[in-house]
Amino acid sequence: MSSHSSRPAMDPCALSDLRNLIPPLTSEAHKGQAGRVGIVGGSADYSGAPFFAAMTSMRLGCDMSFNICSPDAGHVIKTYSPDLIVMTLLRQEKTDEQLKDALRPILGRLHALVVGPGLGRDKHMQTAGKIAIQLAKSQQLPIVVDADGLWLLSNEPNLLKGYNNAILTPNVGKVDRISNGKQVLHVDAPGSLKRCGGQGDILSGSLGTFIAWAQVSPYKDRIEAERRPLLAAFGAALIARTSSRKAFERKKRSMLAHDAIDEVGNAYEEYFGDLISASL
């Protein structure tokens, strides 16, 4: 994406294509069919970030969100909301093999995995993130890497090498280092003037839902497989910016991340509110 004032307008074709990745709501659907998203993160020092990411994924419309975290974070996250499934599997005393055995069946239930919100940089948490990515790759699971998950990749640059079903979330100063610029979608929706903590977690949670939807939508085959992660990133940026704008319009300088999460549903309705059960 370019930061120049002459940057191109938002691609209407991308918005149209993205609609094909959103599963309809039907009376025949079962719990979980609109997406099951896992968030790997939540360390002794960070309980807010994984909560924000997981709650955003559900507010956007996935059916189930699994917070896979350390016991220190998990006991706190459980008090934030009963809507989340909190799994305190990232225990420091577990060996690598024990952690693999604990994570493997959980990842097998998911449609997408987000690694990084609140992960921290402690050795055992970074190792847990690495193992989660390796297992997700072996199961061909879409992966979103954010926050300290990117720190992990900076130290393990081959971890996702050659894996096409992954989305990274670098800041604007680093995007040119990892993108070849061959395919670029620009989101020009206005965002918030307030830059509060947690907005990046709203982005990663939105990414989790969109890329999960790309797995389950009955219309997904209308879109080439290699384009789906790009469209998911486009949609997540659109929702994150719009929900932040709506929250800022209400709260101004007092806006916090949970105010933006409260607007995620309204942001979705602004662009996709007509998509209920009708065919596209």
Binding site feature residues for ATP:
191-200
Phi, then psi, of 40 in degrees rounded to 5: -100, 110
Q: How many CA atoms lie within 13 A of 142 on its CB side?
A: 27
CB 267 within 8 A of CB 261: no
SS3 assignment for 77-135: HHHHCCCCEEECCCCCCCCHHHHHHHHHHHHCCCCEEEECCCCCCCHHHHHHHHHHHHH
Annotated binding-site members for (6S)-NADPHX: 118, 201
The first and second tokens of residue 279, run together, are 């065919």
| Positions of E strands within 148-230 | 166-168
Name the binding residues.
Answer: 118, 191-201
Residues 240-268 as b/e (b if ≥16 CB within 10 A, e otherwise) read bbbbbbbbbeebeeebebbbbbbbbeebb
Beta bridge partners of 85: 66
Instruction: Output DSSP code: residue 165.
Output: S
